[in-house]
Amino acid sequence: MHHRTLGKVNPLEVSAIGLGCMGMSHAYGSPKDKHEMTRLLHAAIDRGVTFFDTAEVYGPYTNEELLGEALNPYREKVVIATKFGFDLTPNRDPRVASGGGASPALDSRPEHIRQAVEGSLKRLRADAIDLLYQHRVDPAVPIEDVAGAVKDLIRQGKVKHFGMSEASAATIRRAHAVQPVTAVQSEYSLWFRGPEQDVLPTLEELGIGFIPYSPLGRGFLTGTMNEHTKLDPTDFRSKLPRFTPEAMKTNQTLVDLLASIAARSQVGGVTPAQIALAWLLARKPWIVPIPGTTRLDRLTENLGAATLTLTAADLNDLDSASVSIQIHGARYPQSLERMTGR
């Protein structure tokens, strides 16, 4: 597994492909078996993955606990990213934009950040958090105060790197002026290219790494879903406009494009998912996608993209054809979409 560097001011080296761990405990139906997920996490390490993504809200809390226990024997070899920013006190709905349909309560007050970090440190069994993201920008708290709080935590040795999630270019600039941002995480794939307009150019200018989440369109770009796929009501995708049968039927055109590029590859057995991930890796050397999975075969498939080199013709065809494809359905319900791009 090749490695990539996130950030220039405070650089962080990670595997070229990371592992998004949310689905092991949260959002995609019932939580998965702890022992099976532990074996999967260990298999990822055996295959060269060093970068693992979680958040206090996944569960809530149980995903951090899973990673804290499973990765503890490998703590010096791995980088764990977690997130703060939601009010998870009792009687609050903890569902978030990446895993539910309700509009949650944000809380990025400095005192809450400090409290969240103490909890995450205990659950992750860590002396310091490798990469700490603000999960969503809180309009009630100046971003300078948020960055300042994280800066203090870095000085105290409790946090190593500062990150942001789904933030606008302007907000990233303001935060970076107070505490250098190592990485920004946002949804990005061939079926959602919004970051290309303002965010990616800003990150390149400032020397900040980029972490695309949902790089496989929450499973749709793998080619294993279609308009006949029945999603369980406990699967948060069942509440997303982009996953209605009508939208999936129309959006199949993009999957067909990926399949056509895979079919002409000189490397045998290439899949649409690998093409989608290889496209992301080819965009910039400071982009590190974090596809999530709970299955060993899918993990192996995803990591195979790290050694797949797309030709100039492949990249040109993917760019030109995908831009002309109109994707149907919003990625989030309106209440959750409002929480992005602030």
Least-confidence region, from 134-148, 160-174, 309-323: 309-323
CATH code for the part of the protein at 3-337: 3.20.20.100
Bridge pairing between strands 12-15 and 3-6: antiparallel
9-22: pLDDT as tens digits: 999 999 999 999 99
For the entire predicted model, the pTM comes to 0.95
pLDDT at 268: 81
Determine what percent of the chain is predicted with pLDDT higher than 90. Answer: 93
Q: What is the mean pLDDT of residues 187-214?
A: 98
Residue 238: is its pLDDT beyond 60?
yes
109-148: pLDDT as tens digits: 999 999 999 999 999 999 999 999 999 999 999 999 999 9
Radius of gyration of the chain (CA): 19
d(CA 227, CA 246): 7
Query: Would residue 74 show up in a list of annotated catalytic residues for this protein?
Result: no
76-96: pLDDT as tens digits: 999 999 999 999 986 555 444
In which residue are the tokens 């592992």 written? 19
pLDDT at 265: 87
Domain limits of the chain?
3-337
Which of the following is catalytic: 58, 133, 188, 332?
58
Determine what percent of the chain is predicted with pLDDT higher than 70. Answer: 96
Residue 104: is its pLDDT beyond 80?
no
pLDDT at 38: 98
262-310: pLDDT as tens digits: 999 878 899 999 999 999 999 999 999 999 999 999 999 999 999 999 9
